[in-house]
């Protein structure tokens, strides 16, 4: 029995044939690609929109070219360093690029792992499950995780909405949460191309209720994008994609080359 629970009644789910079923008879079919949809309509806010197919494909293509490999490698290093048990949940896993990397890192290090990923975008988890058959994926909201209490040894949250109550609930005592956030200069040169008056990212205080900060890593380097396709893919991965008007977007879309800074912080917390 894994960590997934019924989103209707909260009972544990077990796989029977091609479905996840709970003791009260609620059933959720496993898609052909391998993921299960545990997302209830009442858990989808009016302003929440999962990534569409084009956005998921663009992000997958961008990431597989290695532009964010510095972040991926550091994340995997920290995941192994702070490993405190086999069960790892990637909350907001997208198309599974980082989830897959962690799984491969644990396999290479010969460390037992049981890895799960959830994302609100059914299209994203479909992509993820097609390329990661040894990872269990579900469509779900991070604000209503269909995951049993204290069942996770580690939780990964990368540029996803933060839901402290849910994350503390599913993590065991002294479990580890690894969070990625953009630092002050992230994509600074790209923002200079878009905005008349660009602004630096605000890095908020690291303190989080119920968590103890164990380590922080600052990851900063420059990337060179040599195609309009990669520039658009990067842009579609950012909040600026939704916050800019046509004029600002056209400024960026006119470029076929872009050098910009990537500036991340990886924060490791222990569940108190």
Residue-averaged pLDDT of the chain = 94
Residues 256-270 have a mean pLDDT of: 98
pLDDT at 185 (0 to 100): 98
pLDDT at 47 over 80: no
pLDDT at 55 over 90: no
Give the class (CATH, top level) of 34-271.
Answer: alpha beta
What is the rounded CA–CA span in Å between residue 42 and residue 262?
Answer: 36
Answer yes or no: are the C-beta atoms of 6 and 18 closer than 8 Å: no
Q: Which two tokens stand for residue 157?
A: 């949250």
């Amino acid at each position: 029995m894994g960590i997934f629970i019924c989103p209707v009644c909260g009972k544990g789910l077990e796989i029977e044939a091609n479905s996840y079923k709970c003791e009260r008879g609620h059933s959720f079919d496993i898609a052909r690609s391998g993921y299960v949809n545990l997302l209830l309509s009442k858990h989808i806010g009016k302003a929440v929109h999962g990534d569409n197919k084009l956005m998921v494909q663009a992000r997958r293509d961008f990431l597989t070219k290695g532009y964010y490999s510095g972040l991926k490698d550091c994340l995997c290093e920290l995941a192994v360093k702070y490993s405190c048990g086999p069960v790892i949940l990637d909350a907001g896993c997208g198309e599974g690029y980082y989830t897959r990397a962690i799984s491969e890192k644990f396999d290479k290090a010969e460390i037992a792992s049981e890895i799960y990923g959830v994302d609100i975008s059914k299209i994203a988890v479909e992509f993820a499950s097609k390329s990661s058959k040894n990872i269990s994926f579900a469509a779900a909201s991070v604000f209503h995780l269909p995951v049993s209490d204290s069942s996770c040894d580690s939780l990964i949250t990368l540029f996803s909405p933060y839901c402290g109550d849910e994350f503390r609930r599913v993590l065991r005592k002294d479990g580890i949460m690894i969070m990625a956030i953009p630092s002050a200069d992230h994509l600074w040169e790209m923002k200079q191309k878009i905005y008349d008056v660009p602004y630096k990212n605000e890095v908020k205080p690291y303190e989080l209720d119920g968590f103890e900060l164990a380590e922080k890593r600052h990851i900063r380097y420059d990337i060179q994008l040599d195609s309009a396709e990669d520039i658009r893919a990067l842009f579609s991965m950012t909040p600026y994609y939704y916050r800019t008007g046509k004029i600002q977007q056209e400024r960026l879309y006119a470029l076929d080359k872009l050098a910009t800074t990537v500036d991340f912080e990886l924060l490791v917390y222990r569940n108190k």
